Amino acid sequence: MAKAFPFTAIVGQDEMKTALLVAAVDPSIGGVLVFGDRGTGKSTAIRALAALMPKIPMVEGCPFNCDPDKKPAGLCARCESGTEKLKSRASPIPVVDLPLGATEDRVIGALDLERALHDGEKAFEAGLLARAHRGFLYIDEVNLLEDHIVDSLLDVAASGENVVEREGLSVRHPARFVLVGSGNPEEGELRPQLLDRFGMSVEVKTPQDVAARVEIVRQRDAFERDPEGFTKHQQRKEGRVRRQLQKARESLDSIEVADEVLEAAATLCMSLGTDGLRGELTLVRTARAQAALAGRDVATLDDMKALAPSVLRHRLRRDPLDESGSTARIDKALSALFD
C-alpha cells in the first residue's frame, strides 16, 4: 500500500487542515467541503488525515465496522443477534473513496435475489456506505456526482442508517460517516440539498508567495524520492497530532460551551440571514471541538469566531446587491458584532 503524504508536512492551507481536524474530533458536525484550484493539496490532505487518525475498536469479521462497546440498538442485525460476546480488534478508521462512476448497488450495497429465492437466505453484499461506517467517505469532484447517488447519500446522511430494498426484501445497517467532498467550482455547482449536509466549507487557493511555493515543491519532491525516510522524519510530529486528536475525541463530551457563545452564534446567524438553525448548531459543535483540540475545558467566543467563516460561507443566500463574497460578508458581520 502506497504511503500517504504526512499531514504535518503540508505547507499552508491552514483553514482546510483545521476544518478536517475539527470534523475528525466530532463527526456529528457533518463533514467538510473543500473547493478550490486543482493541485492545491485537497485530496492529499484528506488522505493524510486518514493515516493520522488513531485506531478504533471494531467487531471482528463485521462488514459494517460495528463498535463492540455500543448498545444493541447501534449494532447491525448480525452483531445484535449474536449470542456470544463480540470479539473486537483495533483497526484504522476507514477512509472510503466514492468514485464518480460508481453504480447505486456499489454505493448502497446489493441483495443477492437468486440466493434469497432459491435458498431462503438473505444475502447482502455490503457497499461503500457500509465500509465507510464510523469513518470517512471521500468524494472527489463531488459537484459532478450523479443525482441518483446524491439522493441515496442524502437519505443516509439524514438518518445515519442505510436501507436497501429489492423485490420485497429489506436489509438495514448503521452508516454514520464524516462526509468529505472536494471539487472545482468552475466545473459545476453542488445541489443545495447536499451542500447543506456539509458542516463546514473551505476555500483553497494556489499560493501566491514564492517562498511557500518553493517549500511545497521541496517537501513533495523529498517525499517522492524517499517516502520511507520522509515519513520517518515526520514521525514525531505525526505522533503528537495523533495524540492530540485522541485526547480531543475522548474529552469532547465534557467540554462546556459558555452562554455567550450560544448567544453570539444566534446573533451572527440572524445578522447574516441564514435559514434554519443548522448554522447555530454547527457553530457550537465546531467551537466545542476546537476547544477540545486545544486541551481546554470551555469553548469560548474566540473558538466560534475562528471557525465561523468555514461554518457559514456555504449557508448564505446570494445577495444581488452585494458583490462581496460570502467570506467577506461573514468577516464584516463578525467585526460589526464582536469587535
**CATH number of residue 258's parent domain:** 1.10.8.80
Same domain as 41, residue 161: yes
Domain final residue pick, 175, 204, 233: 204
CA atoms within 13 A on the CB side of 237: 11
pLDDT score for 299: 93
What pLDDT, on the 0 to 100 scale, is given for residue 113? 59
Closest CA to 130 of 145, 152, 115, 150: 152
Structural domain contains residue 223:
no
- Grid cell for residue 158: 439524514
Distance of CA 335 to the CA centre of its chain: 29
Q: Which domain holds residue 185?
A: 31-54+93-204
Residue closest to 306 by CA, chosen among 316, 293, 318, 315: 293
Report helix, strand or coil for 20.
helix
Number of other CB atoms surrounding residue 17 within 10 Å: 19
Q: Is residue 42 part of a domain?
A: yes
Question: Would residue 313 show up in a list of annotated catalytic residues for this protein?
Answer: no
Q: Which of 298, 264, 296 is nearest to 283 (CA)?
A: 264
Instruction: Report the first-to-last Cα separation within the chain, whole angstroms.
Output: 50
Cell of 185: 467550482
Q: How far apart (Å, rounded) are the C-alpha atoms in residues 79 and 286? A: 32
Q: Which of 180, 204, 228 lies at the terminal end of a domain, its last residue?
A: 204
328 shares a domain with 196: no
- The strand pairing partners of 140, in sequence order, are 182
Q: Tell me, yes or no, whether 81 lies in a domain.
A: no
Q: Is residue 61 part of a domain?
A: no
Q: Clarify whether residues 39 and 112 are in a common domain.
A: yes
Pairing label, strands 56-59, 88-91: antiparallel
The rounded distance, in Å, linking the Cα atoms of 246 and 249 is 5
CA-to-CA distance for 120 and 205, rounded, in angstroms? 55
C-alpha cell at 71: 448498545
Total domains, the chain: 2
According to the model, what pLDDT value does residue 95 have? 83
> What pLDDT shows up at residue 290?
95
pLDDT 10s per residue in the chain (339 long)?
567 888 888 888 888 899 999 998 998 888 898 887 777 777 788 888 888 887 887 887 777 787 777 666 667 777 777 656 777 788 888 888 888 888 878 888 777 656 655 655 566 777 888 888 888 888 888 888 888 888 878 778 777 888 877 666 677 778 888 888 888 777 777 777 778 778 899 988 888 889 989 998 998 999 989 989 989 998 899 889 989 998 999 999 999 998 899 999 999 999 988 888 888 999 999 999 999 999 999 999 999 999 999 999 888 876 655 555 788 888 898 888 887
For residues 137 and 175, the answer to whether their CB atoms sit within 8 Å is no
Does 35 share its domain with 113? yes
pTM for the complete prediction? 0.84
Same domain (yes/no): 182, 288: no
One domain, residues 273 and 171: no
| CA gap 241, 20 in Å, rounded | 13
Annotated active-site residue in 78, 213, 278, 296: 278
- Residue 194: CB partners within 8 Å, gap ≥ 6? 142, 145, 150, 153, 154
Whether residue 278 sits in one domain with residue 197: no
Which stretch of DSSP H or E encloses residue 202?
strand 200-204
Give dist(CA 7, CA 91) in Å, integer. Answer: 20
- Mark whether 181 and 300 lie in a shared domain: no
Residues 276 and 160 in one domain: no
